[in-house]
Copies of this chain bind each other. A is one copy, B any other.
Amino acid sequence: MTIKYPNGRTPSNHGGNSLKKQVKPTLSHSHRNRGMSFEEMINSSNLYYREKGLAVIHKKPTPVQIVKVNYPNRSAAVITEAYFKEASTTDYNGIYQGHYLDFEAKETKNKTSFPLNNFHHHQMEHMRHCLKQQGVIFVLIWFSSLKRCFMLPADILLDYWDSQSDQRKSIPLTDFEQKAEELKIGIAPTIPYLESLTTMIKGDSINE
């Protein structure tokens, strides 16, 4: 399924379009860690974990529908017409000590809740299918105004998603404080999600 985003919704030339929709240059400079955006913080954490040999987690390339390609003489092929596609899965996956890891990262400027319409139906279905295959699936949520990051297991997110009514279209911050793991932003790794994962894996009694 190809979705062509309306004007202005896919501004940057790096990273996943789900994150890009929300990352604003003015915001990223207010982040800790030398002006890194949320996506950059995650990428730098992934790099740290890979370099330390702790896990192999990568961000998937931005899905692009290529329409026209030119082949100038003796130089690189140039894509001259292409469109952003909506990702059919999550942005990040990989392996950590035998466990399949899969997560999505989202941010909100809201200060009291996270709106569920940040997720797409097929992303939720992807997480559901991965859970059935015994994956370690979660989301990282960045409250950019509060500079707080939470790791929420996908099964809890799916409970909210499935019980979503007209009244409840978001997860209150207070629920994150109770049900999610808050990640303290650091230097290396910037977002220490693996450390909290260990708790999550043990808690879920996944065999190691």
Residue numbers of A with Cβ under 8 A of B are 4-11, 13-14, 50, 53, 55-56, 58, 60-67, 69, 71-85, 87-89, 93-100, 102, 126, 129-130, 132-135, 206-207
Query: 6 nearest interchain CB pairs?
Result: A4-B76, A13-B66, A98-B134, A79-B82, A95-B100, A61-B63
Q: Which of B8, B93, B133 contacts A98 (CB 8 A)?
A: B133
> How far apart sit A69 and B14, CA to CA, in the bound complex (Å)?
12
Contact B58 A61 (CB under 8 A): no
> How far apart sit A82 and B80, CA to CA, in the bound complex (Å)?
7
Q: Which of B10, B50, B77, B95 contacts A84 (CB 8 A)?
A: B77
Say yes or no: A76-B6 contact (C-beta < 8 A), given A61-B61, A100-B98, A133-B98: yes
| Cβ distance A25 to chain B, nearest Cβ, rounded Å | 15
Chain B residue numbers with a CB within 8 Å of A129 are 50, 53, 56
Chain B residue numbers with a CB within 8 Å of A83 are 76-79
> How far apart sit A98 and B102, CA to CA, in the bound complex (Å)?
12
Contact A135 B78 (CB under 8 A): no
Contact A77 B8 (CB under 8 A): yes
A50 and chain B: residue at smallest CB distance: B129
| Cβ distance A18 to chain B, nearest Cβ, rounded Å | 13
Chain B residue numbers with a CB within 8 Å of A50 are 129
A71 and chain B: residue at smallest CB distance: B7
